[in-house]
Amino acid sequence: MRFWIPCYLIFSLAGLVSVAPADEKQQPAEKNQKAQALQQTLQKQVDELSAQIKQSPQQTSLYSRRGDAYFFLGQFKQAVADYDKMVELDPAIKTSHWRRGIACYYAKQYADAARQFEIYHSFDNVDRENGIWRFFSQYQAKGAEAARKGLLKYEKDDREPFPDLYRLFEGKTTPEAILKNIRSAEISDQEREKRLFYANLYIGLNASLHGQTEAARTYLKQAVANQWGPRAGFGPNYMWHTGRLELQLLSKPAK
């Protein structure tokens, strides 16, 4: 998403430790220790924010921060509840509240998620990242054909690599072509890293949506291993966690 955020939505994540992506060479015990440390940090933040909310129950920034912590913990319904509370306290927030849409998606409230991304389009009609999430939500709610027919229309260019990614969802390009374009582009190393982060994330999420579990894991591992997302701050960090959570869900043993 583009991160044009009203001042009442800006908050500090200074108390939230974003664990560096796990190296593939790390031992399972080391990976587990890092995962446990992240869980403990997030749970501590939830507990601290819950205490603050008791003292200041009308402060939207507290629900915003706790909603994020709940989401990063994989407690999606609790995240939705906090984001909904923000909207209850300040209805003007709803139009631009893309985090609520993603939380609704992972809480399996697909129709509500699709609606959130649809109204966000009235806030920013250039951002194809929003259109991708609406596609995901429509796919889950109504099926592949309805999702493709319902793809939001864009007339202006968006930041790279989203025009190419949107063409992927329209069925007009391939993951290989997208990644080849990024690797061959005459851009800085930092810009390439950023584009590769988003490309691997959304190609992986799309593969997961279509039940291509192994392919999804391959791309999502690349996204989670990418250092740009956690470094870049608020929005990209949120999307890095989204990739981490999707990979975590795909790695759970089948029941």
pLDDT of residue 71: 98
**pLDDT single digits (tens) 194-248:** 999 999 999 999 999 999 999 999 999 999 999 999 999 889 999 999 999 999 9
Round to whole Å and give the CA distance between 7 and 101: 20
Kindly report the pTM of this predicted structure.
0.87
Tokens matching residue 2: 């583009």
Round to whole Å and give the CA distance between 167 and 173: 6
pLDDT at residue 12 greater than cutoff 70: no
**pLDDT single digits (tens) 134-147:** 999 999 999 999 99
Q: Are 154 and 191 in contact (CB under 8 A)?
A: no
Residue 23 lies in a domain: no
CATH number, domain of 136, equals 1.25.40.10
Q: Domain boundary at 157, 178, 194, which?
A: 157
pLDDT of residue 35: 86
DSSP state of 21: P
Range of the domain at 247: 159-255
pLDDT of residue 33: 87
**pLDDT single digits (tens) 95-114:** 999 999 999 999 999 999 99
Residue 31 lies in a domain: no
Q: How many domains does the chain have?
A: 2
Residue 225 lies in a domain: yes
Residue 188 lies in a domain: yes
Q: Domain boundary at 142, 157, 172, which?
A: 157
Q: Domain boundary at 133, 157, 181, which?
A: 157
Residue with tokens 């399996």: 108
Residue 227 lies in a domain: yes
The helix (run of H) or strand (run of E) holding residue 52 is helix 28-55
Round to whole Å and give the CA distance between 28 and 14: 28
pLDDT of residue 26: 58
**pLDDT single digits (tens) 109-132:** 999 999 999 998 888 777 889 999
- Is the domain of 94 the same as that of 185? no
pLDDT at residue 7 greater than cutoff 70: no
Residue 118 lies in a domain: yes
Q: How far apart are the first and last CA of the chain?
A: 34
- Is the domain of 175 the same as that of 117? no
pLDDT of residue 43: 97
